Structure 1
């Protein structure tokens, strides 16, 4: 007796695809919003390590920018008819845990964390944003750390390393730990919240996981280039 062929899967309706995409965007914006809010808190707190008032002002300015980004993303969620707090809650524990594990011990580690983690996080969301609608891409582009602030961080780190070359090995090790933790977090968020699954017509988890893996490889290459600019080994 022959086995009957498996029944063909029902095609996904346009309405279901639209709902899946909308959920994906809400999850993405919720993660970004909480990341920006926690970034504001982290930078405000880390500023206390600053050796000079000018250095404190640098982190203070970055903290203000992070809070502005948070408000921008929340406004977009409100416009979509979503409660920003509900969108952020699923990400709170993961992001808070990451910052607890990577608490800087001093000003040097604080500055390196701002440089490494912000870049990795923004690159992750920017890579995903390439697959999104224009309005959502625009929001994500606007919450990126400005080129001027990134260059200022690099300048401060270069100065710090030049003044005390002994910091090189410690900060290189710290940078490797940070990028490892950041990539693990990105992978966990991508898997737990099914990032990218909502963007394909088939919505297959395997394909989405493969795409996330490709993005993580891109993030690693970007981190290596940034460490090279500082004269450090990634």
Structure 2
């Protein structure tokens, strides 16, 4: 009985940490995308990025409601992640519109992969919720289209955006490692009683592989 209770408490703690990270990630995305939309070369592009920002805020509101249903305060759930997330974004400020779109695409896809991988070790209800919020959606495809169009219009962007993409994913994977080590329950392989560092390494290796396939799809070197 006590083991079952301990397991339930652990799953509850992991769910709250995962949703706290997701909530702050979406809130950060809203602010970042709203600001970066001002770099857009056309009003249409500006409106497109602003719409994606609104979608990020909608996700934040949905996650906050979920946390409330769990009897948790959204702000308290987000606070443990605020500092590291903010530092990440300070280190990866885009220089122009093209870098803004690449950053939005990389962060959106890598973070979604991370959240879905962790959620696979949680209860079915949480898995479905995370899949709904973090699955590839219209915003992901819009960002991909913007990148393809930019690369087609100016092939000279390829080397610069490939380099920027490598830097972004390197920083993102470092961030995932940091989150995994600072919040051990978010290292999903630990469920099997494995070593924390090995679990995080395996997790980031899979994230890197998936990112590489997406960059190849854009014609860029990961």
- Report the TM range for the smaller structure's normalisation: over 0.9
Partner of 2:208: 220
Change (3 A) 1:201 1:130: closer
Partner of 1:8: none
Deviation at 1:146, TM superposition (A): 4.3
What is the rounded CA distance, in whole Å, between the counterparts of 2:10 and 2:73 in structure 1?
18
1:73 lines up with 2:63 in the alignment: yes
Change (3 A) 1:97 1:223: same
Q: Deviations over 1:52-76 (max 9, x none)?
A: 1110111111111111111111111
Secondary structure class of the residue paired with 1:132 = coil
Q: Which runs of 5+ in 2 are unaligned?
A: none
Q: Which runs of 5+ in 1 are unaligned?
A: 1-10
Conservation of the 8 A alpha-carbon contact between 1:12 and 1:201: no
Conservation of the 8 A alpha-carbon contact between 1:115 and 1:150: yes
Q: Deviations over 1:159-202 (max 9, x none)?
A: 11121111111110000000000000001001101134688667
In the TM superposition, what are the counterparts of 1:59-98 in structure 2 within 5 Å?
Answer: 59-98=49-88
1:166 to 156, 167, 173: 156
What is the rounded CA distance, in whole Å, between the counterparts of 1:167 and 1:198 in structure 2?
37
1:14 lines up with 2:4 in the alignment: yes
Secondary structure class of the residue paired with 1:195 = helix
Change (3 A) 1:47 1:93: same
1:143 to 123, 128, 133: 133
Partner of 2:195: 207
What is the rounded CA distance, in whole Å, between the counterparts of 2:182 and 2:62 in structure 1?
25
Change (3 A) 1:199 1:157: closer
Change (3 A) 1:197 1:225: closer
Q: Does 116-125 or 149-158 show the bigger shift?
A: 149-158
Conservation of the 8 A alpha-carbon contact between 1:44 and 1:59: yes
What is the rounded CA distance, in whole Å, between the counterparts of 2:46 and 2:78 in structure 1?
28
What's the TM-score once normalised by structure 2's chain length?
0.93
1:54 lines up with 2:51 in the alignment: no
Secondary structure class of the residue paired with 1:232 = coil
Q: How many residues align?
A: 222
